Structure 1
Amino acid sequence: MAGAKNQLFEQFANLARVLGHVHRLELLEHASQGERSVERLAQLTGLSVANASQHLQHLRRGGFVQSRRDGNRVLYRLGEGPILELLSALRCYAERSRAEVREIVSDYFDQLDRLEPVSREDLVGRLQGGSVTLLDVRPEDEFALGHLPGALNMPLEELERRLSDLPKDQEIVAYCRGPYCVLSFEAVAMLRAKGYRIRRLEDGFPEWKAAGLQVEAAA
């Protein structure tokens, strides 16, 4: 029995080692938005294509991503199973147990937005009542892969010149890639300074989709 238990623990340790790299965690964040090519994932993470491909191969062998070939391109998407839940548990544990993590959250994220974010449950009710404008601040290609119903896509770099497209008589809820996605934090800080009533969604598009809530995609 002890031998079987040790074998299991060894398998668990192998999976933990796969996740033990900053670039792999970042690649998972981007892969969770939808299926992307190696080249696009490399661009988003600032890695060379060769380096990104190497990390993705480790993630694929661990089952954290899946791949398929489309002509000359290799496309990656998030693997099956509770991967987002695993990453969320890791984040929550780090916030609780690591002073360095709490310091980063306090010094950067909390400075941009100290208001309580909007929960998924609250947002579902408000969408049904039509009392909120949804703002997706991810790049256009990510929005096309999937987004919350009725969301307005306005990437962060376009906000300044598209302010007239946003209502000032209705609260705005902004979202992006996940709980630590800086795009929504910076959008909230910018728009709140300009007099808009805006809050963040508590997490992002992948978590919304994983919860089985309605999503839309470009035709």
Structure 2
Amino acid sequence: MTAEKPVMRQLKDSLYEQLARIGKAFSSSRRLQLLELLAQGEKTVETLAQESGIDVRLASAHLQTLRNACLVQARRDGKYVFYRLAGEDVAGLIVSLRRVAQGHLLELKKALERIVGNPEKLTAYRRDEFMEMAKNGELVVIDVRPRHEYEAGHLPFARSMPVEEIVDRLSELPKDREIVAYCRGPFCLLSDDAVALLEKRGYRVSKISDGVAEWHAAGLPLEKKVCRQGKKNESTDNFQP
């Protein structure tokens, strides 16, 4: 077997080093949380810090690491800095990482069983069945994330109903059809809160573990709210996470 020439070896080492930049950026649990939050849409540093439970300076440091790895991009608007994913493939990478981890890490499976309440409430419908039933009005899909995340991108035929608004908006939900809730993905508990609230009030309700990143990674369409020629809240399926 012929040994590699030193120049070629150095080149290969350089290639792997570039690839390792992504792995290093993914090596922090906090940064993974920030990426998952950004998969829901563009957010300020302050919002990301609040939603991830860390202080602004630490959030900024983690975001800078992600930016150096070209996984996120930033823009300034006045005194605020907004971050977004560098591309839809970053959201897909997060989903792939989670799937591999769930398939191989027993500790993750056990932790997921502990944190995810009411696994029996997961809907039994396949994604294509689910979308067809929602289109036909056979079930009502509610997005229980914050409204700005819904507007950045949501499942087709879903209506925005943040979990803190559900009790005040019960009159909008029919009791003769199944209600299906979803939030940010399999690690999010907002849909569990929604299921518990609605079940206590006599609704037939279930949840899906998908969020917009999982839906997009499966090659399925998403919608978002855009403003065109003075028209607000127009729906389109050309979504970029």
Give 1:53 deviation, angstroms: 1.0
Give 1:81 deviation, angstroms: 4.8
Give 1:162 deviation, angstroms: 3.1
- Relative to the length of structure 2, the TM-score reads 0.80
Matched to 2:149, the amino acid is E
CA deviation string 1:141-175 (max 9, x = no partner): 32233333443322222333433322111111211
Taking structure 1 as reference, are residues 103 and 214 closer, same or farther at Cα in structure 2, changes over 3 Å only?
Answer: closer
* Structure with greater helix share of residues: 1
Q: Give the Cα separation in 2 of the matches to 1:174 and 1:62.
A: 34
1:216 is the counterpart of 2:224? yes
Structure 2 unaligned segments of length 5 or more: list them: 1-7, 227-231, 233-241
| SS of structure 1 residue aligned to 2:203 | coil
Residue 71 of structure 2: aligned partner: 64
Q: Give the Cα separation in 1 of the matches to 2:22 and 2:86.
A: 13
* 8 Å contact kept, 2:85–2:91: no
* 8 Å contact kept, 2:122–2:208: no
Q: Give the Cα separation in 1 of the matches to 2:120 and 2:52.
A: 27
Cα RMSD of the aligned pairs, angstroms, is: 2.2
Structure 1 unaligned segments of length 5 or more: list them: none
Moved more, 205-214 or 139-148: 205-214
The sequence identity of aligned pairs, in percent, is 41
* 8 Å contact kept, 1:168–1:196: yes
* 8 Å contact kept, 2:131–2:156: no
- Relative to the length of structure 1, the TM-score reads 0.88
Give 1:105 deviation, angstroms: 1.7
Taking structure 1 as reference, are residues 81 and 138 closer, same or farther at Cα in structure 2, changes over 3 Å only?
Answer: closer
Larger Rg: 2
Residue 155 of structure 1: aligned partner: 162
When the two structures are aligned, how many residues end up with a matched partner? 218
Q: Give runs of aligned pairs for residues 22-33 of structure 1, distance below 5 A.
A: 22-33=29-40
